[in-house]
Amino acid sequence: MIRSGPAIYFDGKTSTRHPVTVELDNSALAVKSADGRLLARWPYGELEQTSANAGVFRIGRTGSDALERIEVRDPGLAHAIDLMSVPVDRTGLQQRRGRRKVVLWSMAAVVSLLALGIYGIPELATRAAPLVPYGVEKRLGQAVDLQVRAMLDPGKKGDAFVCGTAESEKAGQAALVRMVAKLETAAELPIPLQLKVVRHKQANAIALPGGYIYVFEGLIDRAEGPDEVAGVIAHEIGHVANRDGLRSLLQAGGLAFLFGMVLGDFVGGGAVIFASRAILRMAYSRHVEGQADTYAVGLIQQVGGDPRALSTILTRITGTKEPSVRVLTNHPATPERARSIENVTRPAIMRPIISAEEWAAFKRICGGTAATPAPKAEAGSPLEKAAGE
Amino acid sequence: MTAINAGGPPPVTSVPAVPGAPGAPGGPSGPGWGGPGWGGPGWPPPPLDMGVPRFLGRDGEFFGLLLRGALLLMVTLGLYRFWLTNDIRRYLWGHVEVNGDGLEYTGTARELLIGFLMAIVLLLPIYLLFYVAALMPDLIPYIGAVSFIVLALLGQFAVFRARRYRLTRTVYRGVRFFQTGSAVRYSLLSNFWSLVIVLTVGLAYPFAAASLERYKMRHTHYGDLGGQFVGSGWGLFARGILLWILAVAPLAAAVVFTVISVDWLPVLQTLLSLDIAKISALDENDALALAVGFVLMAAGWGAFAGLIFYPMFRAIVLRWWVSGLRMGGVSAHSYFRNGQAYGIYFRFLGYAMLFGIAASVVGLLLAGLHSVSVRDLKLSSEAGEISGIVLGLIGYVAMMLGYSTIFHTIVTFRFWRLSFEMTQLWGLSALDGVVARGEASSALGEGLADALDVGGL
């Protein structure tokens, strides 16, 4: 076997090229200048191959701050050094092994980060939400409220956006106040509700952070009894009580961080980020809606209403069709919701939430809406919780 | 930042490799491109002091590296980017040979990963602050502008620090490059110039480029040799002004014309009234309609001309930049030709088109296969749709990564190669006996650049 040969040595102190002879002894590699002086002696255990052009075998010394280098162009000598030194690995076998490990670890990290997205973030948001003072949530609600109103309010002249302000609507407004007061007392919320009926044709209602609730005119048009509206309002109160608006804001922030900065940062990754964020948010939302339904049932029972009215109005508005792609909806399927509402319900002594006269007035809270034909069922789900999203 | 980051700027940030240019004693008027002038009996042998760097990389190998990297990026949702970036740099650096000795890239993926984690820790409170502030009604009007400014400053800070990292990981003959200078000052300077460029509709670009390059090169060192940039803003201005006139000037003129010719007061009042009927009646304002027409036409032409002239622009900037680089006594001159830039982009277009056709065929086949298997396996419509969405997503990502791989194999790789091989260096003897200085720096800048998406190669 070759024990010595020519090489180029860079001592790491200057850029001078030293043509040298490399000699391999039993424990180390000796670098000798043309006149036979020993320039360096590197134990085999400290050699490491560094990147170089094909045809050049370049080695450095592990752990050395200086960038000393030996370059060998003779393949025979390079092979001999490779045989003597354990760390040197010219076939790249160790590197490939190391890389396989990296890929496996990365995939494990992806799995655990996804789990964090699916289970960890909602859990964290749930834990963190109660720590946010109500004062902060209220101010936050104001901010979201401004945006949502700008979105919903078409800004047409004529009727005010909020119903119940005109003279003919006063009686309806009084009925609403009575109904809400009953529910609010039973609910014992830590923040006051800001509930308004607004002129919007969609059969829907939304809750924002900070106790803001909007019930749309379209929903009242389609309601056939006070318990139905009360059920929907109770569902929205459930969002307020569970601080769902705040939770979803916290979740959105966590997801944006996870799927924007840590994962998905590559060409085409934008689509992955978008899809996973959308699907995860929908999943959180479905879970939260189910909870709000349960809450609504309990609240309505407490005030002596008919909890099943909520499932009646849900079914009337959306029909019984199952959605085609379940992962892309933010509410559970209506039949599923209706079933679970009826499951929770136990018969109770029923008392009317508001009287028949009050209900008749309530139906006119948006001024003679009884004359306008009821709008067709909206494609979107009712009881949307548009918590500032 | 992304290892694969289509459409990035020329590899300006990786300066160290190519020092030198003309202008100085023995500029282009002196010795030519391996031409006459040398070989007289009294002359010293030229190869010692002048030469052309070589790049020994092969595009097939590079393509293999990128392709494997793209697949791993997909399965790791991008976490593999640190390793891929490092491999790419090792490949590109490691195959450059100057005066017979190769460059070496000594960075590691682990450093990049740690830099990224450090950056996250640093950025998290800042993002949190923005997030909370965005929810405060009183702060909403300001939060957009403030976060834009903060992120722009941080981004350029990261660019400078990332360059420092790359330089200190670039080793030649056992001596490293390094960078001094303040990233804060660079960031202020760079953002100041960005503003000026916008305000002058691009006319200030040459002066901005020259100023920033001077700052970077003045603080670039190879051992005890100091770097310098001698290219002048006016030099680039003179070479590029024709392109500006052809592509950008019509748009600038149309905007100026609009501002002058239209009586803005009533128009603004109408717009602010938010009355749909009145706003749609603005159609009848002839001066406005004419001006808007001009702007649209000029913008369309600008986009078209920009596309046509972009390769020439890159060639001009590359020549100007390389020819302005100095490192100690070493100077450079680039002979990169416009035609070479066009060749590269046409080649890319050709391959991209072939890939597009092939990908569409494969996509259609897969879609057909999917619908058949949904029917035959009697999958529920839900399972069918979900698997369809997942397949579509994978297809989209594969497509984008494919284009990006082709882009880097052809455009990035060839620009890199030619920026060395079309460069003549003088004064190479200055590279002998350089005394090592400087220390390896942390990869925090790289991590920040990654997190803020301002990274380059």
The verdict on residue A94 lying in a domain is: no
Residue A287 and residue A157 in one domain: yes
- Decide if B137 and A253 are in contact by the 8 Å CB cutoff: no
B 409-438 residues with CB below 8 A of A? 431-436
Greatest CA separation found in chain B? 89
Residues A354 and A231 in one domain: yes
For the segment A198-221, what is each residue's pLDDT rounded down to a tens digit? 888 888 888 888 888 989 888 888
CB contact under 8 A, A265 and B175: no
Q: State percent of chain A over pLDDT 90.
A: 8
pLDDT of residue A133: 86
Span of B10-14, B63-67, B71-75 with lowest mean pLDDT: B10-14
B389 has a pLDDT exceeding 70: yes
- Interface check for B98 against chain A (CB to CB < 8 A): the answer is no
Tell me if A101 is assigned to some domain. no
Residues 364-383 (B) with a CB less than 8 A from some CB of A: 381-382
Residue B432 has pLDDT above 50, yes or no: yes
- Domains of chain A: total: 2
* Mean pLDDT value across chain A: 81
CATH number at residue A62: 2.30.29.30
Integer angstrom CA distances of residue A108 from A101, A111, A312, A318: 10, 5, 46, 42
Cβ-based contacts under 8 A for chains A and B:
165
Query: Does residue A120 surpass a pLDDT of 50?
Result: yes
Asked, for residue A114, whether it belongs to a domain, the answer is: no
Q: Which of A18, A53, A140, A249 to mutate: most B Cβ within 10 Å?
A: A53
pLDDT band at B224, cuts 50/70/90? very high
Give the model confidence (pLDDT) of B185-195 as tens digits. Answer: 999 999 999 99
Average pLDDT value for residue range B50-62: 93
pLDDT band for A191, please (50, 70, 90 cuts).
confident
Which residue of chain A is at minimal alpha-carbon distance from B382?
A325
On whether the CB atoms of residues B13 and B166 are closer than 8 A, the answer is yes
Kindly state whether residues A291 and A367 are assigned to the same domain: yes
User: Tell me, what's the ipTM?
Assistant: 0.75
Note whether A79 and A134 are same-domain residues: no
Residues A168 and A60 in one domain: no
Inspect the interface and report whether the beta carbons of A266 and B73 lie closer than 8 Å.
yes
Does residue A136 sit in the same domain as residue A80? no
* Paired residues of B103 in beta bridges: B172
Q: Strands of B175-179's sheet, edge to edge? A: B50-51, B423-426, B330-334, B325-327, B225-229, B220-222, B175-179, B170-172, B101-105, B96-98, B54-55
Res. B163: pLDDT tops 90: yes
Asked whether A250 and B134 are in contact (CB, 8 A), the reply is: no
Cβ neighbours for B137, distance < 8 A, ≥ 6 positions apart: A139, A142, A143, A146
Between CA A236 and CA A229 the distance in angstroms is 11
Is the same domain home to A207 and A59?
no
Which residues of chain A neighbour B92 with C-beta distances below 8 Å?
none
Beta bridge partners of A49: A59
Q: Which residues of B touch A54 (CB under 8 A)?
A: 56
- Alpha-carbon distance of B14 to B167, in angstroms, equals 7
Phi then psi for residue A69, to 5 deg, are -140, 145
Together in a domain, A55 and A138: no
- Separation of alpha carbons B124 and B114, rounded Å: 15
- In a domain? residue A154: yes
Last residue of a domain, which of A84, A110, A138?
A84
**B405 pLDDT above the threshold of 60:** yes
Domain C-terminal end among A58, A84, A110: A84
- Residues from chain A that touch B111, judged by Cβ atoms under 8 A, are none
In tens, the pLDDT along B16-31 reads 333 333 333 333 333 3
Same-domain check for residues A72 and A170: no
Question: What pLDDT was estimated at residue B16?
Answer: 37
Print the domain residue range for A168. 130-388
Q: Determine, yes or no, domain membership for A215.
A: yes
Quickly state the pLDDT bin for A357 (edges 50, 70, 90): confident
Q: Which residues of chain B are within 8 Å of residue A53 when distances are taken between CB atoms?
A: 56, 94-95, 97, 102
Show which of A49, A66, A84 is a domain's final residue: A84
Within a domain: residue A115? no
In this structure, the answer to whether residues A348 and A227 fall within a common structural domain is yes
- Could B175 and A262 be called an inter-chain contact, meaning their C-beta atoms sit closer than 8 Å? no
A237 and A173 part of one domain: yes
Are B291 and B255 a contacting pair, CB within 8 Å?
A: no
Q: Is residue A178 part of a domain?
A: yes
Q: Where are the beta strands (DSSP E) in B59-169?
A: 96-98, 101-105
In a domain, A93, yes or no: no
Residues A297-349 have pLDDT tens digits of 888 888 888 888 888 888 888 765 555 555 556 777 777 788 877 776 665 66
Q: What pLDDT does A374 receive?
A: 41
What percent of chain B is modeled with pLDDT above 90?
A: 57
pLDDT, residue A325, reads 53
B24-33, B42-51, B173-182: segment of lowest average pLDDT: B24-33
Its pTM stands at: 0.80
Same domain membership, residue A189 and residue A65: no
